[in-house]
Structure 1
Amino acid sequence: MRDLRRQALESHKTVSRKARSRVVSTAASKSNSAAGSPAQSRAASRSRQESDDDEDYLSDGTAWSTNSIEDVLNGEDINIPEDAWKAELNVRIEQITNLKRSSTEGRAESLYAYAHILMARFAKGEVEGHIGALVSSMLKSIRQETTESEAVKALKALSVTVVTLDSDTIYDDVADQLKRSIQSSPSIEIKVNAIHTLGVAAFFAGAGDDEILDIMNLFIEIIESDGASVEAQDEGNVVIAALEEWGLLATEIEDLEEETETAMEAFVEQLESADSGVQIAAGENIALLYEKSLTPQEEDEDAEDAEDSDDPERVQDGQKMVKRYTVYRRQDQLLHTLDELANVSTRRISKKDRKALHSSFADIRNTVEKPTRGPAYSTALHEETGKAYGAGRMKVKINRSVEVRIDKWWKLQRLNALRRTLQGGFTYHYDQNELVSTALPFSMSAKR
């Protein structure tokens, strides 16, 4: 009998136990534009989330033009005076909160401009005095769904507001509506953005551990059912969003032993999906769970961890890392699946998707075999020292003098979540926004 994963790739059907006969969205039909084809777009964690290409109407004479906003978000070093962007932001806040004088099209336009200014500039001082009215207006746009465009823009505006403000109360105000949108909105794009916004709000805006675990269970139900639990049968983007936000929230929970067995079953099944975005997101969560199964040896603890007890890789920052529990009982079978994904060659997958699968699953397999190895770990030997290069190949340049290493899967999960929210403004926020730099306490290396 042929390999089930290959059957999925050839027939364009998922093969999870709960949905072997259901057709899923294929990787070949994905669009490059998140706005143009929301149900089929690639996961944001593997490329910078694109802005709304079809909306170039921010040319009403206000201080910032669309081109100015996009230049900043795309990393262009353009000089926009502080008083200019603040004046523009104040206009947009007034337009969003003055519901009686706004139209549907006007609200969507203002939400779009507001969100992009907050992405490109750290504006906590300008926003926090209006937070009650802003959140109330955004929730109304999300709840009413007058148009899909307005609701999606409100969700994106809410996400970036959460990351800007560092509030521990916003979550309680928005959680119920976000869960309703996930469960009952007829729009797939709204469901996807509501999942991302719920994850960001839970992580950054005041949810406790018990509530975070409840949300993670909601996301597991979506993953196990291929979206059917929220009336999004076989919608790849909905499953990807649930996988990505589960991964973000998992980085906040210290001990995931009780959650690991159920989560691993769901993620391993999704490795058989015909959607490469689903496969990669599931694989990254698997790597995260293996990473989290190791913790430092306590001072008064006798190391009874015989497996790889003499492995020098088990020592990090001077501490021995101890395996606390078995992540997955059928690890040999899992390694075989990961090997196949790291070397998949079928022509039914685009060249771009094959490259992404090869790169991602080589790293994921590395971690499953050696849980101390993070993303982009290199086993190549240094010519002078004879030792493996190890971690550190994946870096993010923050400014001209500092770059940071993404050497852990938990760091990659948080980085991806922040980039989905802040887009090209991530590095600016890392410099200016303490909430962002605190969430990613990278090991920094100065460049001269």
Structure 2
Amino acid sequence: MHDLRRQALESGKTVSRKARSRNASVPSSKANSTLNSPAQSRANSRNPSRHGSDDEEYLSDGTAWSTNSIDDILNSEDVDLAPDVWKSELNVRVEQMVDRKRSSTEGRADSLAGFTHILMAKYAKDEVDGRMSELLPSMLRSIKSETSERETVAALKALAVTIVTLDSDDIYDSVADLLKRTISDSESIQTKISAIHALGIATFFGGSSEEETEDNMAFLLEIIESDGLSIDAHDEGSVVVAALEEWGLLATEVEDLEDATEAAIEAFVDQLQSSDAGVQIAAGENIALLYEKSYTPLEDDEEISEGDIDSEDDDERRNRDKMVKRYTVYRRQDQLLRALDELATVSTRKISKKDKKTLHSSFADIRNSVEKPTRGPKYSTALDQETGRTYGGGRMKVKINRNVEVRIDKWWKLQRLNALRRVLQGGFVHQYDENEAVSRCLPFSVATKR
């Protein structure tokens, strides 16, 4: 069997908040012009773990980011200056992008990268919105022409962060067909990956219809089922990871996944046998999401058998709605649990220590949710010695500021968090604080001391 099918054990919608003003900081023109280019991943390369420390994560294309990376780029020597400084720098980048007659391929790639990094770190909707009649055709031309991989990938990333910045319902129709053609026809694996991520963002934030969302999920599922063969990227693990990630993001937007579950769960369970740890984890997270989505709150006037009710056992949520099983996700759950157990305890020497640790941690959580779907990621049944209660869920948190934090206690929240981090990287926290398109995706809570 081909590489992505050999056994791994053998082969190793929330209410928006108004944007709050913040002091802006200096951009460094020099730093912006010498941006780090992402690592290129190729055939059958092992993806780095996407679940590292709290300070560093890895994206599906192998790019590492830290929570401080964007601030390091835009804040030269920690000197604070007025907003018109970074706005002036952004305007320079925009002028360079739209003036194609006096630009080179490398120059456009540099300008696109600089533009993207500023938009990651600064909320610039007003500045970008007024130039979209020039910016969008320029970005789409860089994507369509594929003059160089670097320019095309930079344009795709610029497009994704622009869509999140604008939060417009009018952009999807302008970009979707080109993105799907690029995914199918490009000869560059890295371009396919970036286009898959851009398609997911355009679908989620750009104003697609419910039918278009479901069509794109089917398109992504075909990539997953075929190990990339459907888009001429056979056995490219990084491509399959990207398709799994964006399928998971779009699934969080679909209220009822019952009709889509049967085909999807078969594909995801099949991918648990991949030799690529990144593929396995992304597939596992989607499996957990499907189980989570199969339960909904008990309605006030609803009568249902006690066996289909799962009462919350998290003390922090004990008084919340009881959850009801609406349909069966996978009929061979015992086999699935055994497979998840194996991945949660894998010990073969053919897998690196780092991948082994990541698999153990991820699949312990995934198995827990498959067995009890009301438990989200990082759910703990351990007892707090001070209170005598179980720790429960909500142990994974993202600190926004002194008073606000995002608790990642559901798989749908984790899917959205990961998608936003892929686009915004180290600028996520600032964007959450300023950009309603970001903050409404994830509910926030008031930070409390335990």
Verify the 8 A CA contact 1:179 1:194 in the aligned structure 2: yes
Matched AA of 1:156: K
Counterpart for residue 324 of structure 2? 322
Distance 1:143 1:361, change over 3 A: same
* Greater displacement, 269-278 / 317-326: 317-326
Counterpart for residue 254 of structure 1? 255
- 1:377, distance to aligned residue in structure 2 (A): 0.3
Are residues 1:35 and 2:46 paired?
Answer: no
- 1:73, distance to aligned residue in structure 2 (A): 7.3
* Greater displacement, 71-80 / 371-380: 71-80
Q: Deviations over 1:275-313 (max 9, x none)?
A: 000000000000000000000111111022514656746
Verify the 8 A CA contact 1:43 1:237 in the aligned structure 2: no
Counterpart for residue 142 of structure 2? 141
Counterpart for residue 10 of structure 2? 10
1:119-158 paired onto structure 2 within 5 Å:
119-158=120-159
Counterpart for residue 181 of structure 2? 180
Distance 1:397 1:374, change over 3 A: same
Counterpart for residue 363 of structure 1? 365
Counterpart for residue 428 of structure 1? 430
Counterpart for residue 30 of structure 2? none
Are residues 1:289 and 2:298 paired?
Answer: no
Matched AA of 1:290: Y
Q: Deviations over 1:361-389 (max 9, x none)?
A: 00000100110000000010122443311
Q: Distance in 2 between matches of 1:282 and 1:375?
A: 14
Counterpart for residue 222 of structure 1? 223
Verify the 8 A CA contact 1:402 1:445 in the aligned structure 2: yes
Matched AA of 1:421: V
Q: Distance in 1 between matches of 2:299 and 2:347?
A: 45
Are residues 1:332 and 2:337 paired?
Answer: no
Distance 1:386 1:447, change over 3 A: closer
* Greater displacement, 155-164 / 306-315: 306-315
Distance 1:132 1:45, change over 3 A: farther
Counterpart for residue 24 of structure 2? none
Q: Deviations over 1:120-140 (max 9, x none)?
A: 111001100011211111110
Matched AA of 1:285: N
- 1:401, distance to aligned residue in structure 2 (A): 3.4
* Greater displacement, 349-358 / 315-324: 315-324
1:87-106 paired onto structure 2 within 5 Å:
87-106=88-107
Matched AA of 1:436: V
Q: Distance in 2 between matches of 1:52 and 1:70?
A: 21
SS of 2:382's equivalent in the other structure is: strand
Q: Deviations over 1:170-212 (max 9, x none)?
A: 1110000000000010000000000000000000010011100
Matched AA of 2:262: E
Distance 1:226 1:6, change over 3 A: closer
Q: Distance in 1 between matches of 2:76 and 2:367?
A: 33
SS of 1:430's equivalent in the other structure is: helix
Verify the 8 A CA contact 1:182 1:191 in the aligned structure 2: yes
Are residues 1:395 and 2:400 paired?
Answer: no
Please report the TM-score for the alignment, with normalisation by the length of structure 2: 0.86
Distance 1:76 1:412, change over 3 A: farther
Verify the 8 A CA contact 1:34 1:50 in the aligned structure 2: no
Counterpart for residue 380 of structure 2? 378
SS of 2:41's equivalent in the other structure is: coil
Say how many residue pairs are matched: 412
Gaps of 5+ in 2: 13-36, 52-56
Q: Distance in 2 between matches of 1:296 and 1:49?
A: 33
CA RMSD of aligned residues (A): 2.6
Matched AA of 1:413: Q
Are residues 1:347 and 2:349 paired?
Answer: yes
- 1:339, distance to aligned residue in structure 2 (A): 0.6
Matched AA of 1:438: R
- 1:68, distance to aligned residue in structure 2 (A): 9.2
SS of 1:151's equivalent in the other structure is: helix
Q: Distance in 2 between matches of 1:168 and 1:368?
A: 35
Verify the 8 A CA contact 1:73 1:425 in the aligned structure 2: no
SS of 2:307's equivalent in the other structure is: coil
Verify the 8 A CA contact 1:287 1:409 in the aligned structure 2: yes
Matched AA of 1:142: I
Verify the 8 A CA contact 1:34 1:41 in the aligned structure 2: no
Matched AA of 1:428: H
* Greater displacement, 401-410 / 179-188: 401-410
Distance 1:88 1:447, change over 3 A: farther
Q: Distance in 1 between matches of 2:404 and 2:311?
A: 35
Q: Distance in 2 between matches of 1:325 and 1:119?
A: 40
Q: Deviations over 1:17-66 (max 9, x none)?
A: xxxxxxxxxxxxxxxx942435536368532449999xxxxxxxxxxxxx
Verify the 8 A CA contact 1:75 1:425 in the aligned structure 2: no
Distance 1:233 1:68, change over 3 A: closer
Q: Distance in 1 between matches of 2:400 and 2:9?
A: 39
* Greater displacement, 303-312 / 217-226: 303-312
- 1:102, distance to aligned residue in structure 2 (A): 1.5
Counterpart for residue 201 of structure 1? 202
Matched AA of 2:410: K
- Among all aligned residue pairs of Structure 1 and Structure 2, give the percentage whose two residues are the same amino acid: 65
Verify the 8 A CA contact 2:60 2:278 in the aligned structure 1: no
Matched AA of 1:432: E
Q: Distance in 2 between matches of 1:93 and 1:52?
A: 28
Q: Distance in 1 between matches of 2:123 and 2:312?
A: 45
Are residues 1:234 and 2:235 paired?
Answer: yes
* Greater displacement, 96-105 / 193-202: 96-105
Please report the TM-score for the alignment, with normalisation by the length of structure 1: 0.86
